[in-house]
Amino acid sequence: MTVPSGKTAFVDPPLTPGRYVVVRELGRGGMGVVYQARDTLQDRHVALKVFPLDLDSGGGTELTANSMQRLQRFRREATFAGLVHPNIIRIYDFGMWKHEGRTSFAIVQEMVQGTSLSDVLLGERASDSSTRSASRARLLRDFLRVCEGMAYAHEAKVVHRDLKPANILLVPDYTRARVLDFGLAKWLGRPDLPVGDPASQEDPYLSMEGAVMGTPLYMAPEQAAGALERIDVRADVWSLGVVLYEILTHELPFSGDSTAQVLSKLVSEIAPPPNEVLGRLPEKRRFADPVPKALEGIVGRCLRRVPAERYSGARALLEDLESYLSSPRGALDLLPPSGRRRYAPGELIAREGGPSTTMFVLERGHGVVVIEKTGWAQKCTEGFFGEAALLKPGQPRTATLRAGDEGCELIEVADEAALLRLLHDSPLIGVQAIRELHERRVVAEEYYVKRIEELEGGGGSKA
């Protein structure tokens, strides 16, 4: 309730006295302190997010206006305790908490050890181009898990409104990722909760509360315009697109020296394609290979200025991205760049009789497959070679492969572990490779039959 003095009384119920025992402090910031605590009732470790309450000087239970504004964000986050998904940090409990003689508002949530995506990206920016390219596949798999969590939230009619790398935790377990901080989230179809006054207008990395809510670098144009009534799950799709953009390029589609500059670009400019941005970077900040065209298309659809032209929600984005990544093309696009090699015209790639330890995929140019014992040859402009490595690594190769007249570029999968990873990412690769192996053998057998008929018709068998 609001009292005439302008201060606000708080009536939140207390946490069960003695249930949560502080183990150690994990960190602190402008919004409060985070502790590791033990839940004595459930016998588990939890994270205790604590916001110390700034009471008025009268010694009562009324909060100053500043404290109440910040408390609203904590309360907002607590209302999403009903969201239960492996890729969303779970809230177990919330309420007033007394510790060392001080009263605070606390949220009890799942205790997870991990690293924020923002810290991971910061570390990778200092790595070399090959390492950055190789990490794409791993981070894209993590991003899928983020989309799974947000698909669940969207289907529960929740829009996050502040998705960004700092609110994504990467964890070393099978779930791989968690979405954090629903402090600006909203239940669609319900009255919104009030939040406080705007934060600094000069720091584009701050979340702004009020008419424009979210983080400018990641918010959708309709958020930047303050059109709160137009914000739905497609605003989150935009933010997910910006996160994906950053994973692929380590750059942002819009940036600036101030919040005002970023907001101006958001409402007036179109996001440049990822490869266009990569092409303008100095050599030391580039990736070893470009962003695959299919991924550029997915990012582009997320970042359409008109919400109706974006994916309808995180589920649609997830399905499109998952379909690409599990396809043979997607799995091959994301192989480490060290596995790509250019061969000169006529250069030997693999010798008949040698061990089948490497599978090849023709990317550009053409190759020539030759069975030297019979003289059979076939020109190929696409497809798989050395497929036997999938079936029984190490068995003798049945044909020789050379580069064609103009040379060729191949993807090489050169060890059993890499082959297994490729098959895990895209089982269809195995099906496609074995089908091509079968078709090539059928053609070779037809050649043998024809040669035998020619020999027999020209003077009998040579046997």
**Residue 299: what residue type?**
V
Nearest alpha-carbon partner for 243 in 328, 126, 153, 145: 145
What's the rounded Cα separation, in Å, for the pair 345 and 408?
7
Active site residue 119: no
CA 400 to chain centre: 40
Q: What Å distances lie between residue 88 and 160, 172, 255, CA to CA?
A: 11, 15, 28
Distances in Å between the alpha carbon of 119 and those of 164, 252, 413? 12, 15, 31
Strands of 40-87 (E only): list them: 44-52, 62-63
Taking the CA atoms of 190, 194, 199 and 202 in sequence, report the sign of the dihedral they define: positive
Q: Is the dihedral of CA 412, 414, 418, 423 positive or negative?
A: positive
| DSSP characters over 135-204 | HHHHHHHHHHHHHHHHHHHHHTTEE-S---GGGEEE-SSTT-EEE---TT-EETTSPPPP------SS-T
Q: How far apart are CA 389 and CA 237, in angstroms?
A: 41
**Residue among 20, 183, 23 at smallest CA distance from 89:** 183
Candidate list 93, 162, 333, 425, residue with the active-site label: 162
Catalytic residue numbers, as ranges: 162
